[in-house]
């Protein structure tokens, strides 16, 4: 059962808004159109479809250069491309994270930490892209860290 500030309200992101490629767009669109009552009921078919479709290897291959961008000379266009890919990966990984938060007891410390981090990630996503190369570099690195955190939680099945 989502709360007023719970993570489920962040699921209203359209794939086009976050720059998701076609294969991930179908998965995100399916996850975003899932009925909230079905998510609350914990229907294993709807919950199980999205995590199976996440390509962990591709996400890790995007995170690695994004975390190491300060060590190499990247062009602004490369940073913008990394930013778009990371936005898509974050949108995809938020779905199982929000579902896990919805299943938790909403008064617990673990739930509060998860929801707080997801809220921070959502606030970062809604910010306007930075116009200067240094701002884009910082934004890409922050998004890569958020993406790594979401991916680690996904791998651990949000214990």
Q: Is the pLDDT of residue 39 over 60?
A: no
Q: Which residue has the higher pLDDT, 45 or 57?
A: 57
The predicted structure's pLDDT at residue 126: 85
- Residue 134 above 60 pLDDT? yes
Paired tokens of 32: 């975003």
Question: Is the pLDDT assigned to residue 150 strictly greater than 90?
Answer: yes
- pTM for this predicted structure: 0.66
Report the pLDDT value the prediction gives residue 158, as an integer from 0 to 100: 78
Q: Tell me which of 138 and 31 has the higher pLDDT.
A: 138
What is the arithmetic mean of pLDDT over 45-60? 66
Task: Report helix, strand or coil for 28.
Answer: helix
First to last CA, the chain: 18
In this prediction, residue 49 carries a pLDDT of 40
More confident residue, 51 or 95: 95
Return the beta strands (E) in 53-131 as ranges: none
Name which of 24, 30, 10, 31 is nearest 84 in CA terms. Answer: 24
Say whether pLDDT at 82 is over 70: yes
pLDDT at 31 over 50: no
């Amino acid at each position: 059962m989502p709360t007023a500030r719970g993570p489920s309200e962040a699921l209203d992101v359209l794939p086009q808004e976050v720059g998701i490629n076609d294969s991930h767009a179908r998965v995100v669109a399916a996850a975003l159109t899932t009925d909230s009552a079905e998510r609350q009921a914990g229907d294993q078919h709807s919950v199980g479809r999205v995590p199976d479709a996440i390509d962990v290897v591709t996400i890790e291959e995007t995170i690695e250069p994004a975390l190491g961008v300060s060590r190499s000379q990247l062009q602004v266009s490369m940073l913008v491309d990394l930013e778009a890919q990371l936005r898509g990966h974050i949108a995809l990984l938020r779905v199982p994270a929000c579902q896990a938060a919805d299943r938790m007891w909403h008064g617990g410390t673990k739930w509060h930490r998860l929801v707080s981090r997801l809220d921070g990630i959502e606030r970062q996503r809604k910010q306007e892209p930075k116009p200067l190369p240094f701002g884009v570099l910082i934004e890409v690195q922050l998004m890569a860290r958020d993406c790594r955190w979401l991916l680690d939680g996904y791998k651990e099945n949000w214990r």
